[in-house]
Structure 1
Amino acid sequence: MRIALLAARALIALLAFSPGSSSSSPPSKDKTFRTLLAVPASPELGRRSAPRASSDPRAAPAPALAQDVFWSDRLDGAPPAGFSDLHVKRWQLKARSSRLVSLERGCGRVSNRLARFSDGTRACLRYGINPEQVQGETLSFYLSRLLGIRNVPALALSRVNTNTEQWLRVRQDIQGSQWADKSIVSLTEWISNLTDVVAPPPLRTEGRRLHPLLEDLANVTNQEMLELVQWSDLILFDYLTANFDRLASNLLSLQWDSRVMERSTNNLHRTAKGALVFIDNEAGLVHGYRVLPMWDRYHEALLNTLCIFRKETAKKIAELHKSQNVANQLFEQYRASEPLAFQMGFLSEDHAEMLQNRTDRLYKHILQCKAKYSK
């Protein structure tokens, strides 16, 4: 008998939003989101609390939860495998050494290209209108590895040089693209047979939540549970990177499009095996931090919907809070794995401090959830 494990659609809370603009007509998406990515950066920017018993009579954890506010070990380890460390290393080696044979339009922004290697495999090649786009994409990838979140595709950097063997056969394509020679671009693994993802039912209405309550986790199928585990990581990841070009942009759009949450989520896809894939993270960290005053209310609203976490993700956040050196750890991983790290650059001191502050905010949020729902 599957009691509450098959019990109701998991609920994620969305608070009512009151955006600053009172305009009733939607501005174009290019003006609201995409052109923000091209805004030049200003020169200067480049003990655990003891749990207490909950007074909420509905707070008995559903069988899907092992304890407190964490998904059970069965669910935590069950989501379809993402991109393993071994897979990432092998793909990066190939991306840095294989010859490119064609560049086609594709992969989102008009300046990007769908690249094909000599062995037939493909990659999304990102050329940033502003270098911080490639930097944000790259650092977001390495932060996901540091957190143990395996939903971001493998990435490697390369310097455009049509005199080298890797780039020689696409010289004409490069000239036609009007890219600056010697620019650093990112190559991201192309994943085939992806499908669009709509926010889970709880995200489509206001005033709901994904908390460890029986009423929030009723009638949810096993497959839906496995996807919700990944959504919990996505919300934390986008909060940490301040990536506005996924869920946060949808919240902003609610002021003129009440059904935006019922449509496909931007920059989020699903593999045939059910793994969520977080793509196009160029708005993360560098640019996301620079425009944070505009978007932080939406990031906070999304975070407040969530009070269920993967144990390993929460553990890593606690470790990064305790060490107070998340930027240093990110840089060491980035430097050790990416030969062009020094040429591409890293977070400014201000942005490194913001990353630590947001890590500390996540840690505090998890403690608050534990204080509310722990036995």
Structure 2
Amino acid sequence: MGGYTNFGGAKPGLISWDSDAKSTQLSSAVYKNLCLLSAVFAFSVGLTIGILIPLVYLKTPPRNDTVALETVNASAVIRTIFLNNSYAYKNDSESDKYPTVSFVKSFVPLERSDEDLVENGIFWGKKIERALPEGYKEQKHDVWQDYVKKAVAVKMENGCGRMQNRLVTFQDGLKGCVRYRQNTDQIQGELFSFYLAKILNLPNLAPSAVSIVDLGQPLWRNLRNEIASAQWNSNRPIVLTQFISNLNSANIPAVFKPVERHLNKLDVLNMTRNDEDQIGSFVELAQWSDLIVFDYLTANLDRIVNNLYNYQWNTNIMDAPAHNLAKKADSDLLVFLDNESGLLHGYRLLKKYEIYHSILLDNLCMFRKQTVDVIKRLKTKGDVGVLLRDMFDRLNSDSVKDILPTIPDKSVKILNDRIDRVYNQILKCESVFANT
């Protein structure tokens, strides 16, 4: 009975059960709607992320590639220091893609008056060649070579650059700069760079000769105390260079300083039309064109490459005077000083510095014709090593050759490769700029 009573008293419970069922049905419907909304939301988010990730990835490199990207960007900035911005250059979208085409589009026929400035599109003209300073040619080198063999030094003092270099005075009052180095390859670099300049007919290097530090020789016998003070060792090779007075610092020309500049026929003609009195500037630029070729061949680290390398830390360094370059105040002759890194030391560091050497050469399309003629002959004959070694043997005594080695085979091979590189640059410039 009690059970029934309990069961019979369960009617209110039946009402409660029906209410729960309705609530459960309602909850189920809401749950289904929420699931549907969640699925739609998840699909939308997933689709959005799926689209955005590739876009972001294409624009933003992976974290591990940051260093590599910075290196690539730095190289790209360096390589464009002188590119795509001649005075006649047009910065339209087409020329951005095809800079060489932009040069061609900008061509203007040479006027008769221009032919004295530019010949055949890539050579400095007769007017510029006539205005160039004479400098130091073969006869002056021969005179100095003979003079050193008989010279007697009476005084030696600090000067002529760093470290153990010295300024010597001879008994007739003439002076010379002595380059003394512990490393023989730096003496070789100085000497064979000088010989290469003679082969190229460059008048910008002071006459030089090799001697041996020997207190028994007339050249040195009066300098015993000074040599001891300088901590020179006996039987060491030195390079003795004629002292040049009245030198001023030489700044980097404006055409080479800013980002994205180069030098070609169009630059020359447009500089002339903007300012007719440009002969002095062109005389300097013609010597710079020789300097760029010479420093590329020798891989000289201690001149303009020094400025380019430090540009990444100091953007004002291109406004500073060029390292180891001077200008004679009385003739505007550029004097190429301190070539000891050429042909040996510089060649060992090409992996690090080649990009800086190439910047200048790749953007040069104005040359002295006599320099181009020698480059083409050296390319055809392939005998630069023979010429350098013959000059070394002919100009130096047996005592010098016993102590100072000739230029190594490895250096000759690299030099020939670099002659090929300059030759190809000339051909490229001819194909774009030469008159037809």
- Place the TM-score, normalised by the shorter chain, in its bin: 0.7 to 0.9
In the alignment, the residues of structure 2 paired with residue 333 and residue 199 of structure 1 have an alpha-carbon distance, to the nearest angstrom, of 33
Q: Match of 2:182, as an amino acid?
A: I
**Structure 1 SS opposite 2:270:** coil
Q: Match of 1:368, as an amino acid?
A: K
User: Over aligned residue pairs, what C-alpha RMSD do you find?
Assistant: 1.7
Q: 1:162·1:171 contact (CA, 8 Å) conserved in 2?
A: yes
Shift of 1:374: 1.6
Q: 1:185 to 1:71 in 2, by over 3 A?
A: same
TM-score by length of 1: 0.84
Counterpart residue number, 2:361: 303
Q: 2:297·2:418 contact (CA, 8 Å) conserved in 1?
A: yes
Deviations 1:66-92 (A, max 9, x none): 222111123124311110211111112
Q: Match of 1:374, as an amino acid?
A: A
**Structure 2 SS opposite 1:162:** coil
Please say which of residues 290-299 and 69-78 is displaced more in the overlay: 69-78
Counterpart residue number, 1:17: 78
Q: 1:15 to 1:279 in 2, by over 3 A?
A: farther
Deviations 1:175-206 (A, max 9, x none): 11111111111101110001110011111101
Q: 1:59·1:212 contact (CA, 8 Å) conserved in 2?
A: no
**Structure 2 SS opposite 1:156:** strand
Q: Does residue 368 of structure 1 match 2:428?
A: yes
Counterpart residue number, 1:228: 285
Q: 1:162 to 1:337 in 2, by over 3 A?
A: same
Counterpart residue number, 1:347: 407
252, 255, 260: which is aligned to 1:207?
260
Shift of 1:108: 1.2
Q: Does residue 243 of structure 1 match 2:243?
A: no
Counterpart residue number, 1:280: 338
Counterpart residue number, 2:227: 174
Counterpart residue number, 2:131: 78
Q: 1:102·1:116 contact (CA, 8 Å) conserved in 2?
A: yes
259, 270, 294: which is aligned to 2:352?
294
Q: 1:197·1:264 contact (CA, 8 Å) conserved in 2?
A: yes
Q: Does residue 336 of structure 1 match 2:391?
A: no
Equivalent positions of 1:79-118 (< 5 A) are 79-118=132-171
In the alignment, the residues of structure 1 paired with residue 108 and residue 202 of structure 2 have an alpha-carbon distance, to the nearest angstrom, of 28
Q: 1:239 to 1:122 in 2, by over 3 A?
A: same
Counterpart residue number, 1:262: 319
More helix by share: 2
233, 243, 246: which is aligned to 1:193?
246
In the alignment, the residues of structure 2 paired with residue 216 and residue 60 of structure 1 have an alpha-carbon distance, to the nearest angstrom, of 16
Q: 1:123·1:190 contact (CA, 8 Å) conserved in 2?
A: yes
In the alignment, the residues of structure 2 paired with residue 15 and residue 274 of structure 1 have an alpha-carbon distance, to the nearest angstrom, of 35
Q: 1:233·1:309 contact (CA, 8 Å) conserved in 2?
A: yes
Please say which of residues 312-321 and 206-215 is displaced more in the overlay: 206-215
Q: Match of 1:56, as an amino acid?
A: K
**Structure 1 SS opposite 2:283:** helix
Q: Match of 1:173, as an amino acid?
A: E
Deviations 1:221-270 (A, max 9, x none): 11111111101000000000000100001000101111111111111111
Q: Match of 1:68, as an amino acid?
A: G
Counterpart residue number, 2:417: 357
Q: Match of 1:363, as an amino acid?
A: Y
73, 87, 104: which is aligned to 1:55?
104
Deviations 1:344-374 (A, max 9, x none): 2122211110000000110010000000112
Q: Match of 1:17, as an amino acid?
A: I
Q: Match of 1:57, as an amino acid?
A: S
**Structure 1 SS opposite 2:202:** coil
Aligned positions, number: 327
Structure 1 unaligned blocks of 5 or more: 1-13, 19-53
Larger Cα Rg: Structure 1 or Structure 2?
2
Structure 2 unaligned blocks of 5 or more: 1-74, 80-102
Q: 1:210·1:216 contact (CA, 8 Å) conserved in 2?
A: no
Q: 1:15·1:301 contact (CA, 8 Å) conserved in 2?
A: no
Shift of 1:217: 5.0
Shift of 1:338: 2.8
Q: Match of 2:196, as an amino acid?
A: L
In the alignment, the residues of structure 2 paired with residue 274 and residue 233 of structure 1 have an alpha-carbon distance, to the nearest angstrom, of 15
Deviant stretches of 4+, over 2 Å? 54-63, 214-220, 337-343
In the alignment, the residues of structure 2 paired with residue 333 and residue 153 of structure 1 have an alpha-carbon distance, to the nearest angstrom, of 17
TM-score by length of 2: 0.72
Q: 1:127·1:186 contact (CA, 8 Å) conserved in 2?
A: yes
In the alignment, the residues of structure 2 paired with residue 319 and residue 189 of structure 1 have an alpha-carbon distance, to the nearest angstrom, of 30
Counterpart residue number, 2:46: none
In the alignment, the residues of structure 2 paired with residue 120 and residue 73 of structure 1 have an alpha-carbon distance, to the nearest angstrom, of 39
Shift of 1:342: 5.5
Please say which of residues 113-122 and 329-338 is displaced more in the overlay: 329-338
